[in-house]
Amino acid sequence: MEDSPVSLMQQTSNALLEIAKELSTELDLEVVSQKIAGKVQELVDVDRCTLLFVDEETDELVIYRSTSTGKAHAPALPFSDGEDEFRLPMKGLGGHVAKTGETLMIHDVSQDPRFSNKMDLETNYTTRNMLVCAMKGPDGKAVGVVQAINKNPDKGPFNEQDKMLMETFSAHAAIAVLNSKLFDQANKSLKESEAMVEISKALSSQLTLEPLLQVIINKLCQLLEAERCTAFLVDGDFLYSSSQMSVGKGSALPIQYKRGDSIRIPKKKGLVGAVCTSKKFLHIRDAYKDERFNQEMDLESGFRTRNLLVMPILSQTSETLAVVQVINKRNNR
């Protein structure tokens, strides 16, 4: 015997209340995101749920490896080795929902010109239908988008109840995501303050430049959650670094040079050289797409550089003393 509409509504309300309680006690963004994706998959009975987060700075949608869950027959998204995110332009179904806040219930995505089958082709999977809903903050702006993909055919197509359920749940999800981001920001501020104290101590102890750089790169690697951070000292027409001026974790260590414990590169060569001569900060999202990036070190070590921050350290007379290179932000958030 099927449940009555009133009984079904009560079950749904109870489920949403339990989910809201569960999300309110979790502050880790990755865990929150995994719970949201998993609960949506259960609530509307779909093959897969994917969360897309809005990056206002770049006007892109970001899918993180940890925020896409699917059933056994739904293949994983095609992340490259070492990559934890996809970045998509603010277009298509997700982009439309993020910009307008409108919930889309699409019974046949092949008939919607906004749908891109690029992911399907890469994973040998067929997206048939989708329910796409914005996670809106208190100001009404979308912090992300929830995509529920391929409703269980035994339960029929997406319906108005699924839509109402997704919109209600997405409101709770948005609050959980914003709380997690605030918690992350508070933690980062605390770490920044602690790092500044350490750097101030190093400055006051009148260290020479090389040991001072060692303190700076250690703190930068921690603060920016990077895989590796390396400092290069200006030495005439060259930039010099050694294994003592490079720190990292996991596959980023140990840093080894083919010609011994140090490396010298021409002052005008590569990204480090470009920053040394221009005295300007560089933010490179994809190292291999920048013709100035020298792939030689990656080829020698087997390490894969994905993204970089490169910054100069200037003297009081605005001469470049050193260049610091931060490689591969680990969680990309």
Domain ranges, ordered by start, for the chain: 5-184, 207-329
Whether 81 has a pLDDT exceeding 60, the answer reads: no
Question: Which range in 41-55, 73-87, 172-186 is most confidently predicted, on average pLDDT?
Answer: 41-55
Whether 5-184 shares its CATH topology with 207-329 is answered yes
Its CATH architecture, for the domain 207-329, is 2-Layer Sandwich (3.30)
DSSP string, 194-232: HHHHHHHHHHHTT--HHHHHHHHHHHHHHHTTEEEEEEE
Residue pair 220/324 in contact (Cβ under 8 Å)? The answer is yes
Residue pair 48/198 in contact (Cβ under 8 Å)? The answer is no
Question: For 223-239, what is each residue's pLDDT tens digit?
Answer: 888 888 989 999 888 88
Round to whole Å and give the CA distance between 35 and 173: 9
Q: Which of 219, 307, 315 is nearest to 271 (CA)?
A: 307
Its CATH architecture, for the domain 5-184, is 2-Layer Sandwich (3.30)
Whether 201 has a pLDDT exceeding 70, the answer reads: no
**pLDDT number for residue 1:** 45
Question: For 128-145, what is each residue's pLDDT tens digit?
Answer: 999 999 999 888 899 999
Averaged pLDDT for residues 278-302: 86
Round to whole Å and give the CA distance between 69 and 128: 17
- pTM score above 0.75: no
**pLDDT number for residue 313:** 87
188-209 as b/e, with b when 16 or more CB fall inside 10 Å?
Answer: eeeeeeebeeebeebeeeeeee
Q: Alpha helices of the chain — where are they, by DSSP H?
A: 5-24, 29-43, 92-100, 118-123, 160-204, 209-223, 270-278, 296-301
Q: Which of 296, 306, 304 is nearest to 257 (CA)?
A: 296
Q: Which residue has the higher pLDDT, 304 or 102?
A: 102
**pLDDT number for residue 151:** 94
- Between 26-35, 76-85, 90-99, 102-111, the lowest mean confidence (pLDDT) is in 76-85
54-65 as b/e, with b when 16 or more CB fall inside 10 Å?
Answer: bbeeeebbbbbe
